Amino acid sequence: MEVTPEMPGDTTSPSVGRTALIPPSGAARGETAIIVALSIAAMVVSMAQTLIVPILGVIQAALHTSAANVSWANTATLLSAAVFTPLLSRFGDQHGRKRTMMAALVVMTAGSLLAALTHSLFWLIVGRVLQGSATALFPLALAVLRHEIRPQRLAGSMALVSGTLGFGSGLALVMTGLLTQNAGSDYRRVFWVAAALAFMALCAVALLVPTDHDHTGGRTDVLGALTFGGFLVLLLLPISQGSKWGWSSGRTTGCFIAAAVMACVWWFTERRVREPMVDLPTFTHRPVLFTNVAGLLIGFVMFTQFIGLSFLVQMPGSIAGYGFGASVLRASVEYLLPSTLVSLLTAPLGGALVQRYGPQLVLTVSGVLGTAGFVWLSTAHDTTASVIGASLITGAAISFGYAALPALIAAGVPREMTGLANGINSISRSVGSAIGSATITTLLASKSIQGLPPGLPPLPAESQFTIGFVIGAAVWTAVILVALFGLPRTARPRRRGAEERASGTADADRKSRI
């Protein structure tokens, strides 16, 4: 494995003098500009994933279709992200990260415009597919940071960019609620704003992110990408649609069986290809494997909280006996936004803790906080203060988890595979999110309140929310176990002097590329 700036390398070079230890202010400002641009881009991509969730019913009424049909506008984004994230992540590592990010943002802008202009469900779904393809931008952004940011700022910058994912998801809910709060509001204005934001992110990346010249080149493993994408589609499709199809239906079980077969085909293909998309020994390496397991678990609990709290606070207390009767806008602003704000604000702290104590400890703290938050939700969710207080703790837990995962990936793979490795980790979180969404949705639908007045739709029993939060606490506990026993013990963080000497080496490397 090549020596990277994050790893102790040759610190005896005579070219690294005292002046190299303190970078010029211009270099620091350049790094800040890169971090800001990539944070904006990651936030915009995460917003596109969730902005449609609160308005699925509005779209259903406007397009005169069924709930099952309109749900594909959400599922399409998930499937698109699963297919394109590993492909574009690897393509960026091989042929240029900035170029690939800009192409993804152009496609995302086009998809947003298509969704804003169309009055057809089919073309809306196509637009959502185009939006979902830009999900690969996040792992590419982390790869850019690893190549362009000095070691002493790397963990914090990765944590900040990662933190914008949770913040963007919450901000999208608030934005959608504000844009559609009046009766008869046109849902298409949401996509007009999404198009404007995507174009803004495109300009930021084009102007502030430097062009990379150290990509590896090589042929793109199209067959590996197609078989891996097919496996993910066959896996995620029944997970996202199982509650509508029926978990024991032929379509659901058939998709799961086909997914297992396609996984075997993909594995066989990657072992035979000269330049595989995924280097199997690297991705089955213990640190990388268990980091992806942790990503799946964190994705699960994040969506369990998001969907569980959204439904809980909107329950009419006078009828159900619990809940706060909140509107979609109030649920987003009052109950969900505080958690996302805490995720953003604690992201730099998570990065600093990773830099000082190592990602393994930060992931453990993330699990402890998340377990405490979900135990609180399971035992006391009858007051606004209790719900918000518990969600603040879980928001910090998610932020710390997001801070630790990229650092664990960076320490476990060669530098030239950073984009793909973070892409696979991003997919693991997406799979976890899909499983969490399906689990909590099925759980809430499995037991309804009896004796409701006629004409009212079924309402989930309060016990189902409690069970869901208990499951969330158990999954957070599993994150602790992965951090303590799944991941190998990481080396203690280097002393400041070693970091500074490595920084000088990294600066010299960047200058030589320029």
52-61: per-residue pLDDT in tens? 877 887 888 8
Residue/partner pairs of 321-328 with CB below 8 Å, 24 or more apart: 321/449, 321/462, 322/381, 322/382, 322/462, 322/465, 324/384, 327/177, 327/181, 328/54, 328/177
pLDDT tens across 207-236, in order? 999 988 766 666 777 788 788 888 888 988
Residue type, 166: G
More confident residue, 389 or 84: 389
CA distance 60 to 53: 12
What pLDDT, on a 0 to 100 scale, did the predictor assign at position 218?
67
Q: Half-sphere exposure of 174 toward its Cβ, with a 13 Å CA cutoff?
A: 15
pLDDT tens across 123-136, in order? 999 999 999 999 88
Residue ranges covered by each domain of the chain: 24-220+277-450+457-513, 221-276
CB atoms within 10 A of CB 113: 19
| 357 pLDDT above the threshold of 80 | yes
The DSSP letter of residue 96 is -
What pLDDT, on a 0 to 100 scale, did the predictor assign at position 383?
94
What pLDDT, on a 0 to 100 scale, did the predictor assign at position 6?
42
pLDDT tens across 270-297, in order? 888 777 777 777 778 888 899 999 999 9
24-220+277-450+457-513: CATH topology: Growth Hormone; Chain: A; (1.20.1250)
User: Does the reported pTM lie above 0.85?
Assistant: no
As given in the structure block, the two tokens for residue 290 are 């268990």
Closest Cα to residue 246, out of 256, 257, 238, 234?
A: 238
What pLDDT, on a 0 to 100 scale, did the predictor assign at position 131?
94
In 315-336, alpha helices (H): 317-320, 328-330
The DSSP letter of residue 484 is I
Closest Cα to residue 50, out of 359, 416, 328, 385?
A: 328
